[in-house]
A and B are shown apart, each in its own frame.
Chain A
Amino acid sequence: MTALAALICRDVRIAFRVGGGALIGVLFFLTVVVLMPFALGPDLALLTRLGPAILWLGALLASLLTLDRLFAADHEDGSLDLIVMGRMPLELACAAKALAHWLAAGLPLVIATPVLGLLLNLDATATSAVALTLLAGTPALTFTGMIGAALAVTLHRGGLLLAVLVLPLSIPVLIFGVAASQGAIIEPLSFGAPFSILCALSLVSFVIGPFAAAASLRYGLD
């Protein structure tokens, strides 16, 4: 197995084992979405209108929940030292870790979306639109969040700091994610333009995230 595949496999495997974070995010997502109808009341039209926004907020918060462990776990047990010393460029290792984190924590959110859409009175079109935007947008959340995770790696309990650092970066993703979902549901609004921007945000984060995270790991590690 190549070093890259080994790193991805290991992180995914750990996430799905006992104590891993993979399902915590989905459970949190479920909790947020299940509670919304109780808070908003039984107004079905209102739920439908707010549905995409609620799903996006839930997914955003759920993906932040496990992000602080992205590098902190490896830092605490010394694995990060060996990864930094390794022959694989640190940028590539960061990208691999983020990809593994997305596979374990981001993709399950996308898969859970159709089920949770039912709770918010969304029809099939709306649910699939939200799922599609989440599929395009959650990688951006992970890859920008990785920068915050790398900055907060040496801090114990850096989770809250991470949220404060990362949230401003995720606002554009949230705006265009919700806008694209609304565009698919409500007739005069456009789906293509915000969705293209959302994809662009993801692609930009693929490039910037690993380099920024690797730079801050190199600087912050001692």
Chain B
Amino acid sequence: MRLSGRDISCVRGGREVFSGLDFEAASGEALAVVGPNGSGKTSLLRLIAGLLTPSRGSVHLEGGEAELTLPEQSHYLGHRDAIKPALSVAENLWFWRDFLGGTVFNPAETLAVVELDHAARLPAAFLSAGQRRRLSIARLMAVRRPIWLLDEPTNALDASGQIMFTTLMGDHLARGGLIIAATHAPLGVAARSLRIGEAT
């Protein structure tokens, strides 16, 4: 599987965020998108996720499942964590498992991976920022998708959480997955970096 973008430009609110961007990533590879604040890292991820349309250029996926579009084969882990405070931790995870079409899934096991099994029945409103992030990461485990689009994935995670997530990313890459992550901190796994928004 190979994901590539050619000559992509993105305009937000009448301002050109970036232009003429090329990138490429294949199965088992991680691409770290780095750049200063406001350089368009999140925009690039949302563009790949199909949530924004590029003003020029396009994103191509070769070798994925032919019947599914790129967003349908991707996980998007954004700043906003898609967690409903009124539902319990397990209910939140169940919902995304069912909605995103996960098949094999043992909730207790998945929650144990992100060290949230003790809080499974707790309303998600009581989770801390780091725990919410762990619950979002559990979503990536509950449903297998080959492409992970991660926006500052280790934000708010403590040291053990970062190690846990590094391991999960390593497993994902070893299974032939593909990761594109916008990040300021080192990703922890071998990754090529894509610099955007810097004066050339």
Contact = CB atoms under 8 A, between A and B. Distances in A.
Q: Please determine whether chains A and B interact with each other in the same assembly.
A: yes
B51 A77 contact: no
A156 interface: no
B86 to A, nearest CB: 4
A88 B51 contact: no
Given A86-B100, A87-B68, A77 B83 contact: yes
B55 to A, nearest CB: 12
Interface string A1-21: 111011101100110011110
Interface residues of B, number: 29
Nearest to A2: B98
A85 B72 contact: yes
Nearest to B85: A19
Nearest to A18: B86
Max chain B Cβ within 10 angstroms of own Cβ: one of A79, A82, A84, A222: A82
A82 B143 CA distance: 13
B150 to A, nearest CB: 13
A109 B101 CA distance: 34
Contact of B84 (A2, A79, A84): A79
B74 interface: yes
Nearest to B13: A222
Interface in A39-93: 76-79, 81-88
12 contacts: A3-B101, A10-B95, A13-B91, A17-B86, A19-B85, A19-B86, A78-B82, A81-B51, A82-B82, A82-B99, A85-B50, A222-B52
